[in-house]
Amino acid sequence: MTSVARQFNPERLATVLLAPVVSEKGTFIAEKHEQVIFRVMPDATKPEVKAAVEAMFKVEVESVQMLNVGGKQKRFGRFTGRRRNWKKAYVCLKPGQEINFAAEG
């Protein structure tokens, strides 16, 4: 465990990352910029995300950028509704580091 990961509650770190975002943009960013995109808890912070990624995947994280994604307005017949807002994190890995989701599962 790294020094950053020791500052946080291990149970909290296990719940911060919800899922990797698998999309064309995510694949492009992973190849070009050595970044990985994760869906994270709405109240997660950058240091928590960094510690969680380092603890779970045993890689070194250089930086984290966070983004709030607004839920879309949707209609079902005459009823209108709204999807939930969510948060995603762009995790920049140090050079030479890699997370392979196909091998992890």
- Tell me how far CA of residue 100 lies from CA of 26, 35, 70, 76, 84, in angstroms: 13, 12, 28, 38, 28
Q: Which is nearest to 52 in space by CA: 1, 95, 103?
A: 1
How high is the pLDDT of residue 6? 67
Q: What domains sit in the chain, N to C, each tagged with a CATH number? A: 3-95 (3.30.70.330)
State the pTM of this model: 0.84
> Which residues, at least 6 apart from 54, have a Cβ–Cβ distance to it below 8 Å?
2, 4, 5, 60, 61
| Helix%, strand%, coil% for the chain, nearest 5 | 35, 35, 30
Q: Give the pairing of strands 61-69 and 17-20.
A: unpaired
One-letter amino acid at 97 equals Q
The pLDDT confidence band at residue 7, using thresholds 50, 70 and 90, is confident
Question: Quick one: average pLDDT of 43-48?
Answer: 95
pLDDT of 5 over the 60 cut: no
